[in-house]
Amino acid sequence: MEALALHGVLTGAGPLVVLLHPVGLDHRFWGMLPGVLAAERRVLALDLAGHGQSPQVARPRSLEEYADDVAAAIVQVGGDPAEVVGLSFGGMIAQVLALRHPHLIGKLVPGGCGGTFAAEVRPMLQERGLAAERDGMAAVVAPTLERWFSPGYAGFVVEAVRERLLAQDVAGWSAGWHAIAGLDATPRLGQVRVPTLVIAGERDAATPAAITEATVMRVIPGARLAVLPGAPHMMQLECAETYTDTVAGFLLGADADA
């Protein structure tokens, strides 16, 4: 299947960094990170297929197809090999991208994601998409915010996420969750040969840090793990400074090429 042409926002100058957002969000939900990276990098924040201003999609759609879209975007801007930062859904796509298009990847920063799921979990993930198909996005917003943010955390960021989820195309949301349910990268992640930083939130209720460590970090040769203190699933928003410092330290720091 031919890759889709994704919408993206390109800022800064220098080596290319590509940002892949969580399911239901878009290129705007990265907190401080794009601005900090753009001081030394060309930053391409994408809308994944079925999200934001990118083409709509429907299930079934595999993670491999999402990854191929991103690969085409990297080629389009002529910036390969790229440093790829992905969170949650975006982190899963980043893993698959590194496996399918290794020549396009210079560094890898997956966060808030595992590399596979137990068989009994996969139908539960599909149900998150099916629930929206039956009852609309309003039916899935509250449980999603509960998984994504710390208990009691409120404010502009949460409201912005709420509004974005309510505006999300149902078919794109369901396609994303069905793709997530098919994730099984762990058996192949030993093939990844680029510098990798795996990021987990200490209080991530959606993807516990132990899962991220066991199914991603320990499988990729030489990968580092950063567990962000007190961070929930939406670590790039609720713990924006810590997340940004961690990613920027890996990509831009003095030991970045070590």
CATH number of the domain that residue 152 is part of: 3.40.50.1820
State the Cα torsion 244-246-251-253 to the nearest 10°. Answer: 110
What sign results for the dihedral spanned by CA atoms 218, 203, 184, 86? negative
Q: Which of 120, 121, 142 is nearest to 131 (CA)?
A: 142
Q: Per the domain annotation, does 150 fall within a domain?
A: yes
Give the pairing type, strands 82-87 and 105-111: parallel
**Checking phi first, is residue 44 left (phi over 0); if not, alpha (psi -120 to 50) or beta?**
beta
Q: Per the domain annotation, does 141 fall within a domain?
A: yes
pTM assigned to the model = 0.97
Please give the average per-residue pLDDT across 84-96, as a whole number.
98
Q: Per the domain annotation, does 258 fall within a domain?
A: no
Domain extent, residue 184, equals 8-252
Question: Could you tell me what percent of the chain has a pLDDT over 70?
Answer: 98
Q: Per the domain annotation, does 159 fall within a domain?
A: yes
Please give the average per-residue pLDDT across 133-144, as a whole number.
98
Q: Are 213 and 225 in contact (CB under 8 A)?
A: yes
Q: How confident is the model at residue 1 (pLDDT cuts 50, 70, 90)?
A: confident
Beta-ladder partners of 11: 43
* Integer Cα distance of 72 and 165 in angstroms: 26
Please give the average per-residue pLDDT across 114-121, as a whole number.
98
**Selected residue with higher pLDDT from 253 and 58:** 58
Q: Per the domain annotation, does 238 fall within a domain?
A: yes
pLDDT tens profile 8-39: 999 999 999 999 999 999 999 999 999 999 99
Residue 114 has pLDDT above 60, yes or no: yes
pLDDT tens profile 189-222: 999 999 999 999 999 999 999 999 999 999 999 9
Question: Could you tell me what percent of the chain has a pLDDT over 90?
Answer: 96
Residue 254 has pLDDT above 70, yes or no: no
Q: Per the domain annotation, does 103 fall within a domain?
A: yes
Q: Per the domain annotation, does 148 fall within a domain?
A: yes
* Integer Cα distance of 39 and 4 in angstroms: 29
Q: How confident is the model at residue 253 (pLDDT cuts 50, 70, 90)?
A: confident
Q: Number of folded domains in the chain?
A: 1
Residue 92 has pLDDT above 50, yes or no: yes
What are the b/e assignments for 20-38, b being 16+ CB within 10 Å? bbbbbbbbebbbbbbebbb
Q: Per the domain annotation, does 218 fall within a domain?
A: yes
Q: How confident is the model at residue 258 (pLDDT cuts 50, 70, 90)?
A: very low
